[in-house]
Structure formats: C-alpha cells, structure tokens
Structure 1
Amino acid sequence: MNQPKPFSQACENNKGPILHVLRQIFVKPVTVWEIGSGTGQHACYFAGHLPHVNWQPTDRAEYLPGIEQWITQSGLSNLKSPVMLDVNDAVWPCTSIDALFTANTLHIMSWQEVTVLFVRLKGLLAEDATVCIYGPFNYSGQYTSASNEFFDQSLKARDLLSGIRDFEAVVAEAQNAGLNLVEDHAMPANNRLLVFQKSRLDAA
C-alpha cells in the first residue's frame, strides 16, 4: 500500500509570502539548493512558480521518500530528485552553490550544527551566491512575540539543543562565511526571511 504524502500545514501557510520575496531574489536562472526540504511542499511550490530556476531539494535519508512523492506527482522538469544531505557531512553532494534556501531548520539544529552549516557554506558558495533563511529569530536576546516564546519552550522540551536562534549570532556566523546581510523581511506568524549575499571581497 502506498504511503500518503507527508504534509505540513505550516508550509501551506507560509509558501505564498515566502514566494513573494523569492520572486524578487531569484530573478535569474540559477540552481537553488534547499537545505532541509522536509515534506517537499516548498520545493514543488517554488519550482512551479519560478520556472527559470532549477530547484534541488535535500534532506536526511528518512525524508527523501516523502519528498520524492511530491516531486513525482508535480511533473516539474526544473525540480530535481532529492539528494541526501546532513549539514554534519564532511563532504556535501555538490562542488559549488550559487543559491541556497532553507526554512525552519536553524531552530531544529543544535547551535553547533548551525555553525557547521556556515563553515560548509564558506567552502562551497560561488561568487555572488545568495542565501535565504526563513524562520523565527530573537532580536537583542528577546522574543519577538509570546507565541515565539511558547514555541521556543516547546522546542527545548523536546530537545534541549534546539531553540530559536539569536538574529545577531546568526548574522555573525554568516559574516564568518563571507556573507553580508542585505535584507531582513518581516513575515507572517512572527517569522523572518533573511537574505545574505556573498561578499565580492571574500570571493576575490
């Protein structure tokens, strides 16, 4: 018996607002690597609305079959089969990244894994690469809403190493990887979409 496709209501809720920003960011033909594709809903939706972009979903092995279900049913030629990727992997399944998107992953990872993510990106990002990170963030060490505080507590109750990350700490790690913050978009449900650009000086 075929397993039902995985489904995330959060993906359904936020895909439209995220796409509105991505249309302004990914304006040229490019391959976007998605870290932590989860159910695969974002990959299908964004690839379907950004036909000039090739979308490369990635995730840990246990999520790949569900992602593949979404991709197969989408029939999109610019949506690639998912590949296994864990940020902790010493070698990633690529040699260069021009564009990267990730949603709701940094608060699931441990902080050590967040730092590893940026270390890996430092060695893989091409000149003028763009990195988009969606999710909740704290600013100046403070929650931006009561709902985010409750969410953070629920995350830590499940895994003490997870939790909403501080905006300033994430920007610092990005800067260490040669990335400059160029946009910080307010999003629904007290989330943000951070857009980073690789520094030309770093790429030179």
Structure 2
Amino acid sequence: MLTFTGVSKSYDARPALVDVTLSVGVGSRTAVVGVNGSGKSTLLRLAAGELRCDRGHVSLPAGATVAYVPQDYGTVASATVEQYLKLRAGLLAVERELHASQDAMAAGDEAAAVAYTDALERYAALGGYEIDGRVQRALAALQLPAAMLSRPLGRTVGAVNRCALASPGSSPRASTCTCSTSRPTTST
C-alpha cells in the first residue's frame, strides 16, 4: 500500500500540498484530478522519491518501487522511444562519453583510457548491458510492439507513457506502483 501521512510540500513560500493523508491499496487504480497547479504532479513526484516532503512522510511496502512517467517530454520529443528510454536510464550520456573516449584513445590520447574505464563502470552500474532485454520484456508485458522503439517520441506519446516504464528501475512487476501525470489514453 502506498501511503501519504500528513504530507506538506511548498515551493518557496507557495504551498503545493498541505497535510495530505492518502492510502492507495494494492491492485487499486486511483485518479488524482485537479486544476493546474493544485499539486497533482508534486504528489506523484513525492511518491516516486523525486522530491522530499517538507512535513509528513510517504511509505511503501518493503521492496516496492514507484515508476513515475512525467507528462512533459520537453526537448526529447524528436528522439526515438529507444533513445528516450536510454536517456531516462542515464545511459545516453554515458554512451556518448564512451564513444568520445574511444575516439580520443584512437587519436593517441593516453589519458582517455581512464575516462573510458570510468564511463564503462557507470554504464554497467546503470544497467547498460541489460537494458535491451529489460526493454523487450517490458514491451511484451505492456503489450507494445517492438517496432515502437524506432518511432519518434513526439508522435507516440500515449504509448510512450506505458513504454517509459521499461527503463531500468521502472520495469513493471508485482511490487511496482505506476504513476503517470499524463491524461488517460489507450493509444499505441
């Protein structure tokens, strides 16, 4: 059960949430509805651990995780779904570092070997070697076609809300509470 107890959160002097107490039971579906600025996204970001409460606490059962899908894809709308998933996992930046280090080593830069080794360790720690399999399993669990990965993100946002759950740390499983700040959709 996901539980909020006496949760308050403010941005500067402006309160977003004041003394919120809420429980979401296992297997239930709960909609948080409100006008812009009423604290819906703040509530979900607190549940996902992206923000800390000013007062109160958020609790989950041991071993449970919260998979949070933000509504704003911002500057990544032109990326493919696969690039977006790697970006969420922190892998795109590390892949760029690996390629840059390889190029520098090929050009004779001996110091680049240290940067390459560091990037390789971060890539492994972020699940880079397992991401393809995890994404494929998550796509199957979410009933999305593998072709989804090559589509531009901006043209498939409804399905990406489900597909984004495939990123490492967010794979759907029995102990996952899924949060999305997007409008309800069934598009693929």
TM-score under structure 1 length normalisation: 0.27
Name which one, 1 or 2, has greater alpha-carbon Rg. 2
The higher-RCO structure (CA 8 Å, 6+ apart) is: 2
Q: Which of the two has greater strand per residue?
A: 1
